[in-house]
Amino acid sequence: MVMALDGVKVLDLSRLAPGPHCSMLLADFGADVLLVEAVPGSSEKLGGSRALSDNAQRAAAYNALGRGKRSMALNLKDEAARAIFYELVKSADVVIEGFRPGVVKRLGVDYDTLARINPRIVCCSVSGFGQTGPYSNLVGHDINYISVGGALGVTGRPGSAPAIPVNIIADFAGGGLTAAFAICVALLAREKTGRGQNVDVGMSDGVMSLMTMAFGMYFSTGVPVRPGDSMLNGAVPWYNTYQCSDGRWFSIGSIEPHFYEALMRVLGLDEYLGRQYESSAYPEMFAKYRAIFATRTADEWMELMSQYDICAAPVLEMENAVSNPHNLARQMVIEVDSPVGKVKQIGIAPKLSDTPGRVRATSPLIGQNTDEVLAGLGYDAARIADLRAKGVVG
């Protein structure tokens, strides 16, 4: 089966979630992704979280971020290891790294160095705040990047602390997804220019890009969005969540007038027809909505509302999301063969009609393919053994 990114060779130096998510997306569509990982024990800072353990096979099987990839271990602080990496770069298309600014320069694997070896190389750096600017050298995590990017400041309820989401906004959307998009754009550009380029993905930048519409409203009106004070973040009763009789939550999003009208009729609140934007009535509307939704379970509300033209859905907890008929029909929960048997993973989101993505293998163990890769470069068994003994490879 032809895959969209067949023939694209990726060297992935990244360790934490954004970079591996980026290369997972590329691997899902056929890219040959080689994880270039630190030799276990060679560097605490560069070693990342994929440490070897007695349960390594099981951990690898469930590590969807590593699926479809190969792994070799190189101690890039060693000149011999860098020479191996340079050989790999000669035939590669993409290098991904997620170190703090300046680290790849110190290791000798920065874009300028690699572009002299292969002018067609696309190098993508995924960092918290990007490679330039006053914050570029600051450490951080998702919570910090969504703070600087403006997303955390618009979440939650009035008068309450910001609601902290799981690390999906900066790490995965602003970081991994943005990086995968940028790499594909750079590869397309290379078809026109014949040259690779350096791609600088700052996760805080990615967060601000995700906030484009919200900031557009602010630029237009001069009124900043605050937690729970706009239509899309909790200020109105007809775009909100309500607790049901079973303790679960239900979401409604009846923005358009015809959706709002249908909601009022199903809830038996005809007295509010034509009063969608009457904000003075919102307190009593909120109270009535809460009382009504508390009379049925979340599933009962879904069964009722799905019969009408209403924007509504239960708030699915993780255990319910992975058993939801729609998510299953969309193949968003899949079973993958692994060395420890079949394991469940999240499926591939974009559905391409001609060159669909697929999961070709579960995550490798650290260094699982080192010998294979070195043999492909012409190293014989004795030389590989010598490099391993010296800690150059693992």
As annotated, the active-site residues are 141, 171
Tokens describing residue 156: 């939650």
Tokens describing residue 27: 């691997």
SS3 38: coil
Tokens describing residue 110: 């920065």
Within 13 Å of residue 192, how many CA atoms lie on the same side as its CB? 5
Its sign, for the CA torsion 300, 301, 302, 305, is positive
Please enumerate in sequence order all residues whose Cβ is within 8 A of that of 274, keeping only pairs 6 or more positions apart, or say none. none
Q: Are 312 and 299 in contact (CB under 8 A)?
A: no
SS3 302: helix
- Cα distance between residue 353 and residue 374, in whole Å: 37
Q: Name the residue among 206, 1, 196, 11 with its Cα closest to residue 97.
A: 11
Please enumerate in sequence order all residues whose Cβ is within 8 A of that of 207, keeping only pairs 6 or more positions apart, or say none. 145, 146, 148, 149, 150, 151, 169, 170, 173, 174
- Cα distance between residue 361 and residue 211, in whole Å: 35
Q: How many of the other CB atoms lie within 10 Å of CB of 75?
A: 20
